[in-house]
Structure 1
Amino acid sequence: MSGHPWLVCGVAGLQLSPEERALLQALQPGGVILFTRNLQSPAQAQDLVASLRELPGSPYVAVDLEGGRVNRLRALIGELPSPQELSRYGEEAARALGEACGAACAALGINVDLAPVVDVAGEASFLAEEGRCWGHSVADVARLAGAFLSGLESFGVAGCLKHFPGLGSGAVDSHRELPLLGDEVKLQREAFGQLASPERAVMVAHALAPALGEAVAPASLSRKIVSLVPGEVGLIMADDVEMGALAAWGSLEERAAAALVAGCHQVLLCNALEARQAVADYVDFWAEKDPALAAALERASFRVSRFARGTVSPVSWAEAQERAAEVRMRWGKA
């Protein structure tokens, strides 16, 4: 296996330094995820994305662009209404948001959007409090998140269903603590099954789901839970292993290896840039000694090689801005 297709990592700034370029050329990650620290202007972002896509292994370039609170392109396209705000207007509004996100990503060369949230909002859901959920029922979430995906994918941008098996009953933010999911998750996970397809990824949450038969390990590190991800999806990724929810689960290196053995095809390492090489080296080392990890890497390499390999639509930045402005004008955030 060449490189580290199982790794999705962040980068430091607005352009690659010679040292970082050399590191990425050696690592050959399967994907690179961008944040606000990486995105200053359309021209700068296009140049950075082009330099990333040209790296050995041709990693995909991803961003979190949900609308509302989670909008890494805010400095470029402005505010966007949240899924919660748009849910009252139905599928037309949801598709329009997906089109705005797809156009913005395509215009920059970004080919994966880590959206939509497919978590069904519960009464105490931290995600619902942030306006990130599309509804309070499986039917509403599947319908509206599906419309968002239709808009996004119309520009050749792949989507990611998150956060399996569903954080809707989680009362605490997994960035800081480990959520405990209630019995509702047995029903809520059905939204993922309704939206699963080979062109889409699924992101697995760091959360405990005893109702699904796993009372010890977080979902992202549990073979039991990862095995429940619908088989039709193109790729399974673990959420950022730096999150506080995994504080009791060893080092970053150990968490990454555990997620891969559990059945995830990729692992996010977003901000601990100094750990990129160490995490890769650790997984390489143990893959030579652990047949289960070696087999997991082979599966990951195959899945990543087939994901997000299409070409995004040719879109001008002016069109992307127009679509974002139209969503704001018609449905809020004007």
Structure 2
Amino acid sequence: MTRPHVPAHHTSVRLRARAHPARRRPAGPWLVGIAAGVVAAAAAFLVPAVPTPVQPLSAPAPLAPAPVDDRLPECVDVVAALGPRAQLAQRLMVGVDAADPAAAAETVHASQVGGVFLPGNATALLQDQSLRALQAGARIPVTVAVDDEGGRVQRIDELDGDLPSAREMSGLTPDEVRALAAERGRQLAARGVTMDIAPVVDLGGQGANEVIGDRSFGTDPDDVTRYALAFAQGLQDAGVEPVVKHFPGHGRADGDSHAGRVTTPPLDELRAADLRPYADLVGPGAPLTEGPRPAAVMVGHLDVPGLTDDLPSSLTPAVYALLRDEYGFDGVVYTDDLGAMKAVTGEYELPEAVLTALAAGSDVALWSSGGDPAPILDALEPALADGTLDATEHTAAVTRVLRAKSACG
């Protein structure tokens, strides 16, 4: 049976085509000049195009820590060998139609974007090793992301089974949550997914079906930290990169940023509660910053008194400065969806939103609405050339993105 189309963005609501009552789910020859040695080193990381059978997932063997590969090319050499457009493409994560593997692979081949996001209900791209063909068209490995949180926000539940919501998982022990997440991570990795945009570290307190609601582990910052840590470490155990969200805190906002601009409590209140998980999870020396798959952070579209002014947080330089300078995070920073959330789309066209976010300090701009990335790159190239995008900060961002996916070391 053909399932109903659901708008594609990763924190919206979704329809689940099941036998039981429906629930809602989220719709949330340009690379030149690469030295021969860098091409050869990068090619070693491409996933082979030849399909191989997926192994059973019911009783996987424990994963050994990934070995450190001292043969990785130096990041400075890889970045320098990329042209400006190729560098900028690494800073984009574009939504692709998971029902059309051939079109998704062509998007990657034509644009060489650094990441793709799989929204909606379709799963064809997650079956039959289709993501191998997508990776085969990339000169640098592609980050393949889903938002598989559990509960209302899942992507592989109809393939690999249901995952409880964060609120339900908070009734388990952290060790049990870590084991659940590790099993889910192994299922994702077996299908070719490299990143799970989860867990939510927003504080709860809303009704279960509100925008954050049962996606939160609780109202106490220590509880949220403990359970989010367990979930994220489970993903890391399976070799999948977690992303904590939505900085600086959507849980106590006065509305849904999918529907329009929303306001959080003042910054001082966020520091006392909502921001504490970030300090404990991804600050200097924090547990999720270690190992071969350190966590990334996603910045939401929020108005924060005392921090933002006329722009939502995803477009505000002071927000990225807060995350980098006060909270000491040195990993990769993503925007929330710039193409399907009215807190941004109600005021900005996509090329302007992407440029503003990258200039503000985001490493990667994400949009789930898909389409040809070429017009975005066309807008970004002159901005990099004229200094609208700071060259030093741009190089640092590209370096973080490449290092996170082991394209350089």
User: What aligned pairs does 1:203-282 form with structure 2 within 5 A after superposition?
Assistant: 203-211=298-306, 213-229=307-323, 230-242=327-339, 243-271=341-369, 273-282=370-379
Determine which structure has more spread, i.e. the larger CA radius of gyration: 2
Conserved 8 A contact 1:112-1:308? no
Pairing of 1:31-46 with structure 2 (within 5 A)? 31-40=115-124, 43-44=127-128
Deviates more, 1:293-302 or 1:101-110: 293-302
Q: Secondary structure at the match of 1:206?
A: coil
Q: Are residue 68 (structure 1) and residue 146 (structure 2) matched?
A: no
User: Among 114, 127, 130, which residue is 1:48 paired with?
Assistant: 130
SS of equivalent to 1:227: helix
Q: Which residue of 2 aligns with 1:193?
A: 279
Return 61-70 or 230-239, whichever deviates more.
230-239
Deviation at 1:95, TM superposition (A): 1.2
Residues 121-200 of structure 1 mapped to structure 2, 5 A cutoff: 121-123=204-206, 126-129=210-213, 131-183=214-266, 184-187=269-272, 188-196=274-282, 197=289, 199-200=294-295
Once residues 16 and 42 of structure 1 are traced to their aligned partners in structure 2, the CA distance between those partners, rounded to angstroms, is: 9
SS for the counterpart of 1:67 is coil
Q: Kindly report which structure 2 residues correspond to 1:278-297, keeping only aligned pairs within 5 A, or say none.
A: 278-297=375-394
Distance 1:100 1:248 in 2: 39
Taking structure 1 as the reference length, the TM-score comes to 0.84
**What letter corresponds to residue 364 of structure 2 in structure 1?**
Q
Deviation at 1:96, TM superposition (A): 2.7
Instruction: Give the RMSD, CA atoms, in angstroms.
Output: 2.2
Q: Which amino acid aligns with 1:219?
A: S
Q: Separation in 1 of the partners of 2:101 and 2:169?
A: 37
Give the conservation status (yes or no) of the 8 Å contact 2:383–2:389: no
The whole-number CA distance in structure 2 between the counterparts of 1:192 and 1:221 is 19
Count matched residues. Answer: 304
Deviation, structure 1 residue 37: 4.7
C-alpha separation in 2, matches of 1:277 and 1:137: 44
CA distance in 1, matches of 2:310, 2:127: 47
* Farther-moved stretch of structure 1 (219-228 vs 180-189): 180-189
1:11 corresponds in structure 2 to 96
* Other-structure match for 2:163: 80
Q: Which amino acid aligns with 1:160?
A: V
Q: Which amino acid aligns with 1:287?
A: L
* C-alpha deviation, 1:247, in angstroms: 3.1
Question: 1:259-288, CA deviations, whole angstroms, 9 ceiling, x for partnerless residues?
Answer: 0011100010212x2252211211123222
Output the amino acid matched with 2:256. Answer: D
Q: How far apart in 1 are the matches of 2:363 and 2:144?
A: 16
1:93 aligned onto 2:176: yes
Separation in 1 of the partners of 2:330 and 2:211? 23
Higher-helix-fraction structure: 1
Q: 1:20 to 1:146 in 2, by over 3 A?
A: closer
Q: Aligned-pair distance for 1:103?
A: 1.5
Change (3 A) 1:41 1:205: closer
- Separation (CA, whole Å) in 2 of partners of 1:8 and 1:285: 20
Alignment partner of 1:28 is 2:112? yes
Residues 244 and 297 in structure 2, CA contact (< 8 A), matched pair in contact too: yes
Secondary structure, aligned partner of 2:226: helix
Q: Are the counterparts in 2 of residues 32 and 52 from structure 1 also a CA contact under 8 Å?
A: no
> Contact (CA 8 Å) 1:253, 1:278: kept in 2 or not?
yes
Q: Which runs of 5+ in 1 are unaligned?
A: 311-334
Which residue of structure 2 lines up, in the alignment, with residue 111 of structure 1?
A: 194
Q: Aligned letter for 1:189?
A: L
CA contact (8 A) 1:200 1:234 kept: yes
Q: CA deviation at 1:100?
A: 2.7
1:309-334 Cα distance to aligned partner (Å, 9 max, x none): 39xxxxxxxxxxxxxxxxxxxxxxxx
Identity within the alignment, %: 31
The answer (yes or no) to whether the contact 1:239–1:268 under 8 Å persists in 2 is yes
> Given the superposition, is the C-alpha separation of residues 123 and 24 from structure 1 closer, same or farther in structure 2, using an over 3 Å criterion?
closer
CA shift for structure 1 position 94: 2.0
Superposed displacement of residue 203, structure 1: 0.2
Corresponding residue for 2:54?
A: none
Task: Output the amino acid matched with 2:195.
Answer: V
> Which residue in the other structure is 1:323 paired with?
none
- When you count strand as a share of all residues, which structure comes out higher? 1
Q: Secondary structure at the match of 1:70?
A: coil
Alignment match, 1:316: none
Contact 2:212/2:250 (8 A) holds in 1: no
